[in-house]
Amino acid sequence: MVSAASLDHSVPLDNSYQSFKNENFRTAAFTLSPHTLLIFTGVGTVSQERAGYFRQASSFIGMDGYMWGEPGGYTQQFRSEYRTQAGSTSMNLYGQLRTDERAGQGHLSLHTYAILAEPLTSPVPEPSTYGMLLAGTFLVGAVARRQRRAVARQAA
């Protein structure tokens, strides 16, 4: 059983908030005979390389095992998981399920996801910002010059 999720997305040009997620979920059901121990081992690789344009990035891999419990419904027997927001690593995920003198219904699930969210705004101002700054500077200068001339006229 394989569960994999990867995400490679370019930054939107408008710098608006956006979230990108790829998720994968796999399950398997089985029957264990009486007095059986079933050991699960999963090798997982989680890699997160966030381009400098996204504020949030996250990767996850998890493995859950359940046995049918009494008086009904699933009871969690094990959970093994790993999360990262940066870097890359490989890890082993372990778990075990066992039955007593009765056979049991089991369930195994693998879950992976990768998320990229909220592109950063550009640290370089747009050209119109420079134009507004220049227009404001000229306006402040013109007002100051006008006030100096008015004061000079009153003094003369």
| Domain segments of the chain as ranges | 1-123, 125-156
- DSSP notation for the chain: ---------PPPTT----EEEEEEEEEEEEEEPTT-EEEEEEEEEEEE---TTEEEEEEEEEEEEEEE-SSSSEEEEEEEEEEESSEEEEEEEEEEEE--SS-EEEEEEEEEEEEEEEEPPPSSPPHHHHHHHHHHHHHHHHHHHHHHHHHHHHH-
How far does the chain reach from its first CA to its final CA, in angstroms?
94
With a cut of 70, say whether residue 33 has pLDDT above it. Answer: yes
Q: Which of 60-69, 76-85, 142-151 has the highest mean pLDDT?
A: 142-151
Best-predicted range by mean pLDDT among 19-28, 102-111, 118-127, 135-144? 135-144
Exposure on the CB side of residue 24, measured as CA atoms within 13 A = 14
**What is the pLDDT, as a whole number, of residue 139?**
92
Q: Is 84 within 8 Å of 48 (Cβ atoms)? A: yes
Query: For 132-143, what is the mean pLDDT?
Result: 91
Query: Could you read off the pLDDT of 6-25 as tens digits, one per residue?
Result: 666 666 666 666 777 888 88
How does pLDDT run across 44-73, given as a tens digit for each residue?
777 766 666 667 778 888 889 988 866 666
**Between 100 and 141, residue with greater pLDDT:** 141
d(CA 69, CA 77): 10
Distance from C-alpha of 112 to C-alpha of 25, rounded to nearest angstrom: 7
Q: In the structure, what pLDDT confidence band is assigned to residue 127 with cuts at 50, 70 and 90? A: confident
Q: What is the mean pLDDT of residues 101-117?
A: 84
